């Protein structure tokens, strides 16, 4: 039912090209997952996401358990029937909310008690309960319940969270009943290389269907993220998919693939679309700026997406300033098209044995904007948006 085939490697065997097989179709890797925490990729319908070339999206088990409720979703035939999404679905376990809802939760060995951000009610989420919720939702890939901490955090807190994540991982494996869902373990350990290595080795011994690297993009510098990936990825099994959670600026995807990562998710393309930031082959464009009011060019003349083929920067500028819903939709379509194309081009580069060249050219294209006379530094990528899809 679920499987991963490693098809090809590049750059000394580190960079990977593969295929994920799920109940709802195959997904070519490296792959990016658009985030639809509440059962929808904001502003788009399932047919839009499918047309852009995505075969796998992320939904959030914690938020769906609060509203509309996992029982209701199960009674409606599961997430695929309920949402109308024909492709594969991965559900986050609620572990990220241990970080993002830190002011509304209490952690204990048994699990985490959350105070609902919706109505203030209390909800106790244990590893067993997280698996039960995800099984009722019916995702193709489900995640072990983990404890994600902010960075920096006191070393003792990081170690305790890592060790607890390992204990919870065993409970998740014991609680799993459905055989048609893949279960991924999540490596924790903050920025400490020894803790990360211990966590990875412990989880590998449990033989999960796949392995995620969590607890990154939570306040650390990108160099720290790279060091963690350099430590963890080499010890993960080559025959299992590797998933870097919640990381998604374009340069993060390139650097993740360069270090052997197969799967990514992040709200960056959708959230940036809603705030008027548009990704291009030369950096970012902030469409609300006055310079675009009479600009007849496409967002990115090198882009072949439906938005760039049809609409000008001037029109998108007008829509955004007018707060028209169409503006957010078009921005989101363009950004996700950019991300889909970026992943496609990386897969092709790996297939042809030229990923290192692709990586160099990716940065050269961006640097040329700032180094050229009249270059626009505002168009270049800024700090990563470190938040996830949830408002909380």
Q: Using CB atoms within 10 Å of the CB of residue 235, give its burial: 0 to 12 exposed, 13 to 18 middle, 19+ buried.
A: middle
Look up 48 and say whether it is catalytic. no
Q: Which residue in 92, 146, 202, 341 is the catalytic one?
A: 92
Torsion of Cα atoms, 312 then 316 then 318 then 322, to 10°? 160
Report the C-alpha gap between 87 and 27 in whole angstroms: 9
Instruction: Tell me the HSE value of 335 on the side-chain side, using a 13 A CA sphere.
Output: 34
Instruction: Tell me the HSE value of 225 on the side-chain side, using a 13 A CA sphere.
Output: 28
CA 227 to chain centre: 19
Q: Are 286 and 276 in contact (CB under 8 A)?
A: yes
Instruction: Tell me the HSE value of 372 on the side-chain side, using a 13 A CA sphere.
Output: 12
Report the C-alpha gap between 189 and 212 in whole angstroms: 12
Look up 119 and say whether it is catalytic. no
**Which residue's entry shows tokens 């679309």?**
273
> DSSP string spanning 317-362?
HHHHHTT-HHHHHHHHHHHHHHHHHHHHHHHHHHHTT-HHHHHHHH
Q: Which residue in 11, 202, 265, 300 is the catalytic one?
A: 265
**Which residue's entry shows tokens 């950096």?**
283
Instruction: Just list the catalytic residues.
Output: 92, 265
């Amino acid at each position: 039912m679920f499987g991963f085939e490693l098809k090809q490697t590049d750059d000394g065997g580190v960079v990977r090209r593969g295929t994920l097989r799920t109940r709802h179709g195959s997904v070519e890797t490296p792959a990016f997952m658009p985030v639809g925490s509440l059962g929808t990729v904001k502003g788009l319908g399932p047919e839009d996401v499918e047309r852009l070339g995505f075969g796998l999206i992320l939904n959030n088990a914690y938020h769906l358990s609060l509203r509309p409720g996992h029982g209701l979703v199960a009674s409606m035939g599961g997430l695929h029937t309920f949402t109308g999404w024909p492709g594969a679905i991965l559900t986050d376990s609620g572990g990220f909310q241990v970080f993002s809802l830190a002011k509304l939760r209490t952690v204990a060995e048994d699990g985490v008690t959350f105070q609902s951000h919706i109505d203030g009610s209390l909800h106790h989420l244990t590893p067993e309960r997280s698996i039960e919720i995800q099984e009722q939702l019916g995702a193709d890939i489900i995640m072990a319940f983990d404890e994600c901490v902010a960075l920096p955090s006191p070393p003792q807190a990081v170690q305790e969270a890592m060790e607890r994540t390992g204990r919870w991982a065993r409970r998740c494996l014991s609680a799993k009943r459905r055989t048609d869902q893949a279960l991924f373990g999540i490596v924790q350990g903050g920025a400490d290389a020894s803790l990360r290595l211990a966590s990875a080795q412990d989880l590998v011994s449990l033989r999960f269907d796949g392995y995620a690297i969590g607890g990154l993009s939570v306040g650390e510098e990108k160099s720290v993220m790279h060091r963690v990936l350099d430590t963890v990825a080499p010890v993960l099994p080559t025959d299992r998919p590797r998933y870097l959670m919640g990381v998604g600026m374009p340069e993060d995807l390139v650097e993740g693939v360069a270090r052997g990562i197969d799967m990514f998710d992040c709200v960056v393309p959708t959230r940036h679309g809603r705030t008027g930031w548009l990704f291009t082959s030369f950096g970012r464009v902030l469409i609300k700026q006055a310079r675009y009011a009479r600009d007849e060019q496409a967002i990115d003349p090198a882009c072949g997406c439906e938005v760039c083929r049809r609409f000008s920067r001037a029109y998108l500028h007008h829509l955004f300033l007018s707060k028209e819903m169409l503006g957010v939709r078009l921005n989101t379509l363009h950004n996700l098209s950019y991300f889909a194309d970026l992943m496609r081009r990386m897969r092709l580069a790996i297939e042809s044995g030229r990923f290192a060249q692709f990586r160099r050219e990716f940065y050269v294209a961006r640097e040329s904007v700032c180094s050229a006379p009249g270059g626009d530094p505002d168009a270049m990528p800024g700090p990563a948006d470190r938040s996830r899809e949830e408002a909380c």
